[in-house]
Structure 1
Amino acid sequence: MIALLSRRLAGLILTLLVVSLLIFAVMGLLPGDPASIMLGTSASPDTLAALRHELGLDQPLLVRYIQWLGGVFSGDLGQSYTYGVPVAGLILERLAVTLPLALMAVALSVAIAIPLGVLAASHRGGLVDTIASVFSQISVAVPAFWVALLLIILFSTTLGLMPSGGFPGWSAGIWPAVKALLMPSLALALPQAGVLTRVTRTAVLETLHEDFTRTAVAKGLSAQSVLWRHSVPNALIPVFTILGLQFTFLVAGAVLVENVFNLPGLGRLAYQALSQRDIVVMQDVVLFFAALVIVMNFIVDLSYLAIDPRLRKGV
């Protein structure tokens, strides 16, 4: 068990190092000079050179990469060119919006998809199965930002029930903040709920034909008891895998939705940093997204051992 954890952890660290190198290389190839953007086109060459030296842009790429990586490991993510504040503080501040948004989206996705997928599997070929199939196809095909626009038109412009955008902050109270995140989280959740519904339906259908299910039926258990006490718990492994991947996608994929609803989250920060060529912020935010995906996959892999005892036999 310890050997397995050591191998997985070593693979995680190596992956993060490779990803950090790729991120730094890609950012270095982006067009546009941060110093020129900050000072404008009318700046003199001497002023540009002085600012580039102050920002460390005149150093070799390898030196800048080592300095950046050392700062990441020590917790110093650098200073933002645009905002003039530490990037770590910016990320933590924006994470207070993006993280609750992603968690709400996951909760809504689970609340919609798992009951619908289980009911579709237990009524295969029936009306509920047809509704689940249509819902899955439509929700997967429709992008989240388009769902966001439809929600704004319906609930904000037409009915006037929800705010169309903005975030009052958690200091304004829990309900105003949650209310501002409801429509964005629903816009993110619906496409993911379609995928999760399909996975849940398929996983439950497979367990309904397993030997343990037939044994439970032979013992005289009711259909509902067999479904919820035997089939559904054993179908959770692929569902849990998708949930782990969905969470990282929702955090990293909130860029468009946060911009549609004008939410001050990580996605909007990444968009602003890209438009302003704030390379330090871009590098750190992209690395955070990549690290989140890698670490979440690592946690999902390890959770298999806790969920399914059969997987521990070969460890």
Structure 2
Amino acid sequence: PVFGSPCLPLDVRSLLKSELREAVTQKCASLVEARGTRVCTSECRDALLGFRDARCYNYLSQSQRLQPRTDMPLHPRAGNALTLTALQGIWYGLYPASGIELVEVKYHSSKSTLVATKLTGNDFVGAGRVTWEISPPSGSEGTSCKVVSSLWQHVYTPRWDACSVEVEDVDHMAVTLHLGHEGKEVISFVRAVLPALLRWDDPLSPTHGFHRSMVICGVDAEDESTSVLEAFFEVLHHTQGTVLLDQLLMLVPFLLMGGWQVGGGGANSALLLLAAFFVVLLIVRLNYLGHLS
């Protein structure tokens, strides 16, 4: 989340639990549940538009500044550091006790541990507290996964329970808590970006079937300007070209100084334009990385 954002994680979660969201589930039930019909009713379309026009709708996509650039295949059981670092970012998780929650996932290289901290909490583990940790295999031991739970509701009495992790891809994973004779609890996660959230096929997702409904009803999930801007930021921050961009940003000040000296120290419109472009790109990168928050 960016400093000064009008919609905090709690606001985003509230939208996903709101009457606007529930209206889509009800009015578009046949489309959401894929009952075979492809007919969009006026009530369904109006509900979709009402949800899309909600104040915090665009903030369903959260900053992924922690997500590194990688095209390498991920280990399905998070069995190496590459996979753990690739999972960094902000995610939506479906918790049995409270439904949809937001968590921020960071890799701590000093401990070789991936740590998930709740941005929104429930009665058992509140916001700002660690919810689970994953470490790669050490020696003969496999991947270490442990979930924090509380013994009593409304009273934080932390205990660590063993779990397992399954990585589907860079945008989907699941943490399973094994309960012995009581079975298991599965916490499914999707990366907190709007397209992934709307396409999430988990039946417990609050937006399950929304993408299908929007396509059939001709409702754009994002307006054109937002889509173009997000595509630009994806290229700017999450491609191999980002490495080259960061290197150029480090070199530009020296190029500007050299050009200024060659020009005799006088004003030069080309240099001023380049300097302005450099400042804009630098601010965009630093802000995305959280250094200006």
TM-score (normalised: structure 2): 0.30
Q: Which has the larger radius of gyration?
A: 1
Higher strand residue share = 2
Q: TM-score, normalised by structure 1?
A: 0.28
Q: Which has the higher contact order (CA 8 A, sep 6+)?
A: 1
* Structure with the larger helix share: 1
